[in-house]
Structure 1
Amino acid sequence: MGDNTWYPLDNAGKLYSSIISSRATTLFRLSATLTSPVHPDYLQRALELTLERFPLFKVQLKQGFFWYYFEQTDRTPEVEKEKYHPCISLSIKKRGSFPYRVYYYNNRIALELSHSLTDGTGGLRFLSEVIRQYLHLKESIPIKQETISDEQLLSETENAFRKYYNKDIPAPGTRLGKSFKLPLSLDKKGHYHIVTGIIDIKELKEKAKAYHVSINIFLTAVYMESLLKLQDKIAIKKRPVVINVPVNMRSFFESETMRNFFVSITPSIDARLGEYTFEEIIQELKIEFSRLLTPKKLSQYIHRSVIAEKSLTLRLMPSPVKDMIAPSIYSFFGEGQYTSGLSNLGIVRMPEETEDYIERVECYPPPSIGNKVKAMITSYHDQMYISFGNLSKDRMLEREFFRRMRRLGMEVTIETNDEEM
């Protein structure tokens, strides 16, 4: 692939590139903790080999007149020793910077990616290749070096939103009016507080099974109940509680894309209708999830995503103007409509030959001003890692959620990058 190859951003990427700010960095984190300290020279070489395999990542963000785009570069990012709060302090619009970075700290390799480039699934594929190459260099694990065909490259760089867009399908209906917001003040810039709860998956599975639902619905119900309880304690006026739940579309539409291919569904409970028991919340979510998680219904969300980008007003607006208005549009129509976000990356499977060297895999959500607290979940081997990212100093949601999990009879180990919880 020659220089000056460029990629238009996908539908989600266009939005994320316009809303980037020092607080809403759009960076989410995926990390793996290995069984021994990370050697930076091997990690650098592993990153270079991975970029040969995934040239989509060997790019920098450029500003065109109407839209941002990614341009291929012959430069290579340098791996860095981690020293700041996660998901903060990377301006991907700065000349010469990349839309992601690779960190190491003791036994941990961390990849922080801008959502303008990819989603959790694309990011995990990239991270697992970095680790595979790293362990090949450091531990001599045998690996087969892949050669990538043009056809494979096309399928990995496709805009799957466009591929599955059907102009005859209507967009989904409108929202419930104003949602409940946690009354949180932003902490000072550069601070992003992480609280991770570690739970045994077997225990969790049994608990979800007792309620006849999947782990995902069970955890969303605990999250929803925690938000409803907080609203009871602190709000004078009841409002709907709305959670933004990203859905990996590759589970419903065939695609190998390494770019963004997810939509958000927004399960909600309208607290104005009265008190809900935990069983009632579970029942509501069960109906909502089964109603929305079908290819037919999800194709409406693809339609909405593409149609927003196709809008003539937006298309013809110069990109500096989009940068000015996109954050307020997004906070009004996007995150402004939700109470919080809960994203589950599911079971992470690393290449078999690397598994003995990897202790855990976890993820942190991107910081957001519209939803100052969000959570992201991964499962690896027999543990689940639920990480809250919070731009404020207040841990009310984290405390409520993990206390509820314990009251439901589950053991939770809590870790945090704060002095206190």
Structure 2
Amino acid sequence: MEDWYKLDHAGKLFPAVAGQENSSTYRLSFLLKHPVKPPILQKALDSVITRFPLLHVEMGNGLFWKFLREKESPLRVEPEGTYPCAPVSLSDSNASLVRILYHGSKISVEIFHALTDGGGALEFLKTLVFQYLCLLGENVDDKQGMILPPASFARYAEAQDSFKAHYTSEPPLDLDKAPEAFQIRGTRFVPYGHNVIHGMLRASGLNACAKEKGVTLTAYLTAILVIAVHHAGEPLNTERRPIVISMPVNLRNIFPSSSLRNFFAVINIGIAAAENMDFEQVLVQVQQQMKEKTTKSYLSRTMSGSMKYENTFLSRIAPLKLKDLAIRYGFDHYGEEAKTLTLTNLGRVEVPEGMAAHIEVMETTMYPTAKSPMNCAVCSINDQLTVTFARNIVESDIIMHFFRELSGFTGLEVRIVSNDWGMGA
């Protein structure tokens, strides 16, 4: 009997809304200090994938819900051949929902979001690269904090749907009152693809700037992003719609969980549009909202709101096609139209010292969507912080303003790297 898994609560969203302009596939990458050797990377993958069976799966259709089942064909490492975060095939059983890619000195994992979130994907990438370095004969003996074979998969804890485990009957948040956010417009790339721009700077320097203002690093970057969107989009925001930055929150930091599946909530940080927006005032508002919306009580009510429909009798008995229609409607009207863009911060990534010595920088790439054609992701390792914008439109004014403001406010040098997709058009 092949192994199979129910989709977790958050994972049920992504198959329903996925398509060319919403791939629901994100990327995490380590840039090493030497070129990748594909045969060794394949051996590393073969040895660690059994420790992460939730990633070696294909999608199946049930009567009431989609599900994941064990995939028989092995995962293969591949050279990068298209743009980052390209869609996966949900209909082809031979296609994988996970891609292991290499390019020069970069090792990347691209994962369909129904399987896990950035927290789960990060554990897999760390394990894969650790094993790769071991097979190269590098001195990476320190294994503290790593998930490594031959330890077996802890199915009860690591495959847990932690949304259900921590669900309470607290009154859900009222989402109906959220005004429609200012949305970014632009010209789609032809052929369609994702342009990715990375800005790299010293994490300690940026932390010092945020600390001087009495705010978190995420709040600092969010405020700069709001100012950048305002400067680039103000002439188009004739209705003075609020600029809303959508922000995933890792719930493992608040609710005890060892799950390697999705366990996150999304909060929206909204700033009213005004003709003259002051950075200091925006920063205060962002910090205040983040503080209010990352409390355990607020996030518990967020979970209650997102799960209340799934727990109804009508939802349980509704056929899959009807559920998918309802999910797509909710995603468009309560998700996409309520935000301007997403900023996700994976935070400071910790790996053993011996492993860290082989890593230059880390990148996180968040896929854009049809109504959110530009998204932003942040991570840091070895005091190198990377801010990554992924877009499916030609216009880059917001990104230009963001890095100009970032450099201006902090005085830090920012190194810019791009994949140049669509730049020859």
TM-score (norm 2): 0.93
**Residue 233 in 1 paired to residue 235 in 2?**
yes
Match of 2:199 in 1: 197
Match of 2:19 in 1: 21
For residues 167 and 236 of structure 2, the distance between their equivalents in structure 1, rounded to whole angstroms, comes to 43
**Residue 184 in 1 paired to residue 182 in 2?**
no
Match of 2:105 in 1: 107
Shift in Å, 1:107:
1.0
Q: 2:4 aligns with which of 3, 6, 10?
A: 6
For residues 249 and 103 of structure 2, the distance between their equivalents in structure 1, rounded to whole angstroms, comes to 31
Q: 1:148 aligns with which of 151, 170, 182?
A: 151
For residues 367 and 326 of structure 2, the distance between their equivalents in structure 1, rounded to whole angstroms, comes to 20
For residues 140 and 344 of structure 1, the distance between their equivalents in structure 2, rounded to whole angstroms, comes to 30
Shift in Å, 1:324:
4.7
Match of 1:164 in 2: 166
- AA aligned to 2:5 is Y
**Contact 1:373–1:390 at 8 Å: present in 2 too?**
yes
SS in 2 for 1:44: helix
Structure 1, unmatched stretches of 5+, are none
SS in 2 for 1:271: coil
The 5-angstrom pairing of residues 260-339 of structure 1 reads 260-271=262-273, 275-324=276-325, 326-339=327-340
- AA aligned to 1:327 is R
Shift in Å, 1:72:
1.5
**Contact 1:25–1:91 at 8 Å: present in 2 too?**
no
- AA aligned to 1:126 is F
Q: 1:88 aligns with which of 76, 86, 89?
A: 86
For residues 397 and 182 of structure 1, the distance between their equivalents in structure 2, rounded to whole angstroms, comes to 9
**Contact 1:186–1:392 at 8 Å: present in 2 too?**
yes
The CA RMSD over aligned residues, in Å, is 1.9
TM-score (norm 1): 0.94
SS in 2 for 1:195: strand
Shift in Å, 1:275:
3.9
Aligned length: 416
For residues 342 and 232 of structure 2, the distance between their equivalents in structure 1, rounded to whole angstroms, comes to 16
More deviation in 110-119 or 44-53?
44-53
Shift in Å, 1:329:
3.0
Identity of aligned residues (%): 29
SS in 2 for 1:112: strand
Match of 1:118 in 2: 116
SS in 2 for 1:310: coil
More deviation in 57-66 or 91-100?
91-100
For residues 187 and 328 of structure 2, the distance between their equivalents in structure 1, rounded to whole angstroms, comes to 19
Q: 1:61 aligns with which of 51, 59, 62?
A: 59
For residues 5 and 116 of structure 1, the distance between their equivalents in structure 2, rounded to whole angstroms, comes to 17
**Contact 1:245–1:343 at 8 Å: present in 2 too?**
yes
Shift in Å, 1:316:
3.0
- AA aligned to 2:397 is M
Q: 1:206 aligns with which of 205, 208, 224?
A: 208
Match of 1:382 in 2: 383
**Contact 2:78–2:100 at 8 Å: present in 1 too?**
yes
For residues 257 and 87 of structure 2, the distance between their equivalents in structure 1, rounded to whole angstroms, comes to 32
Shift in Å, 1:120:
0.5
SS in 2 for 1:207: helix
- AA aligned to 2:133 is L
For residues 51 and 385 of structure 2, the distance between their equivalents in structure 1, rounded to whole angstroms, comes to 30
Shift in Å, 1:325:
5.1
For residues 349 and 91 of structure 2, the distance between their equivalents in structure 1, rounded to whole angstroms, comes to 30
For residues 128 and 346 of structure 1, the distance between their equivalents in structure 2, rounded to whole angstroms, comes to 14
Shift in Å, 1:49:
1.3
